[in-house]
Amino acid sequence: MQGEPAKVEIIQNKLYWISDRNPPVKKGCHYFSVDSRLSYSPFASDFGPLDLSHITKFCTELASLMQNPKLQSHKIFHYTSLNPSKKVNSAFLMGSYMILVLSKTSTEIIDIFSQVTTFTNYCDASQEKSDFELPFFECLKGLEKAIKLNWYNLGTFDLRSYETGSIIENGGYNWIIPGKIIAFMCPANDFKGRDGIKPLTPEQYVPIFQHLLVSTIVRLNKATYESDRFTRHGFKFHDMYFIDGSVPSDKIVREFIKVVEEDGAIAVHCKAGLGRTATLIGCYVMKHYGFTALEFIGWSRICRPGSVLGPQQQFLIDIQEVCWKWGEDFRNGITEMEECKELPQHEHLSEADKFKAKYGDYKQAEKLCVAEGENRRDIVKVHSSANVKGKTVKKTAFSKNK
């Protein structure tokens, strides 16, 4: 179902965001669209948010258009169709530009867009879609906090490394907190691969993690390889298994946070490196950086699409105040985390998610791995529209002056 046309003035008499059946055709206007080029690769019925590579390319390109001497007298329109998923992703990109380049706050952006139109909410990457929804404004809030913490900088972001590292055959890893926490998929036991993909073996990960100054590995899924394939190279190793698609116990949450609080960078994986992995990372981020659950879910998916699944979304909401309290205690010198005896997550879940929270989601990880393999292999085939330093800018697939 398509929405109604909408137009938002971003910079008075200069820059506009527009959603319509067709782009504006007026003299003195330059319109461009990225709908067909900067697109999301779904795992299931999910459709966003777009990731750090898309944000970098879009902002670099739009900044170049704004500085182009030939367009100084033109009004610039970022055009998107009325398709709900294209529309919300387009608005997310413009919102990212407004934060990164125009120094607008997420609150200002919410006010500007909400006065003009409405947007569909993002959903998770589960094969059976959860009832949980994520507004794109929450993703902007997460991005905004990450920028303030210098987790992402448009001018210094290494686009090539991000895209290359995201490919499964190159490691399938992403920094969630640069320099501190990496999420990656389960290493293969041998070189045969699985589910039609070929993850790296522990031995192949060793030089990568040594280069990235990782000191500790945490495994959240069942053991499929010997831990000494990492420890013999000097890495610390921790097993914290819980069922695929389920939520962690209080004991595991506190154990994980204590490990991350040690010196050095940590690399965390479950099977796909999306659900269990991002959920525990979220608890640490909420404790030490004050993110809300929704802000973290948004940020984690911007870094690593598909992160946090099914009942894990509501779990993070239910445990966020506990994590904030732990953080407050930590900053006051209390390092021991008080035991969290009960969380009310089952009260807010659908019957299907209640089941998953307790018993997991059978073969969810295998399905995600297959989808991720198909998606990530395509990334290196797509030419960057702009390099990280903004030295070259490629024209959009749909860009025209009038």
Confidence class for position 130, pLDDT limits 50, 70, 90: confident
- Which residues are 8's β-sheet partners? 17
pLDDT of residue 4: 84
pLDDT over 80 (residue 373)? no
- Residue in the block written with tokens 């206007």: 29
In angstroms, how far is the first alpha carbon of the chain from the final one?
30
Range 312-336 average pLDDT = 96
Range 107-129 average pLDDT = 92
Share of the chain above pLDDT 70, in %: 83
Closest residue by Cα to residue 48 from 119, 148, 150: 119
Under 8 Å between Cβ of 125 and 274: yes
Confidence class for position 356, pLDDT limits 50, 70, 90: low
* DSSP assignments along 80-125, one per residue: E-S-HHHHHHHHHHHHHHHHHTS---HHHHHHHHHTT---PPB---
Confidence class for position 22, pLDDT limits 50, 70, 90: confident
Residue of 29, 186, 270, 303 marked active site: 270
pLDDT of residue 402: 47
pLDDT over 70 (residue 245)? yes
pLDDT single digits (tens) 257-276: 999 999 999 999 999 999 99
Range 76-95 average pLDDT = 97
pLDDT over 50 (residue 386)? no
pLDDT over 60 (residue 112)? yes
How far from 56 is each of 59, 160, 315, CA to CA, in Å? 5, 11, 31
pLDDT over 60 (residue 60)? yes
Under 8 Å between Cβ of 182 and 214: yes
Confidence class for position 25, pLDDT limits 50, 70, 90: confident
* Least confident residue range of 33-42, 179-188, 371-380: 371-380
pLDDT of residue 117: 87
- 149: helix, coil or strand? coil
Task: Provide the 10 A C-beta neighbour count for residue 190.
Answer: 8
pLDDT single digits (tens) 187-232: 999 887 666 678 999 999 999 999 999 999 999 999 999 999 999 9
Range 12-26 average pLDDT = 91
Under 8 Å between Cβ of 218 and 268: yes
pLDDT over 80 (residue 339)? yes
pLDDT of residue 387: 42
* Least confident residue range of 3-7, 43-47, 247-251, 352-356: 352-356
Among left, alpha and beta (phi > 0; psi -120 to 50; other), residue 235 is beta
pLDDT over 90 (residue 380)? no
pLDDT of residue 167: 93
Mean of the per-residue pLDDT values for the chain? 89
Range 362-372 average pLDDT = 60
> Does residue 270 have an active-site annotation?
yes
Phi and psi, residue 185, nearest 5°? -90, 165
How far from 180 is each of 261, 284, 292, CA to CA, in Å? 10, 11, 19
* Least confident residue range of 181-195, 288-302, 345-359: 345-359
pLDDT over 70 (residue 385)? no
Domains of the chain: 6-123 (3.90.190.10), 159-380 (3.90.190.10)
pLDDT of residue 389: 40
Range 365-372 average pLDDT = 61
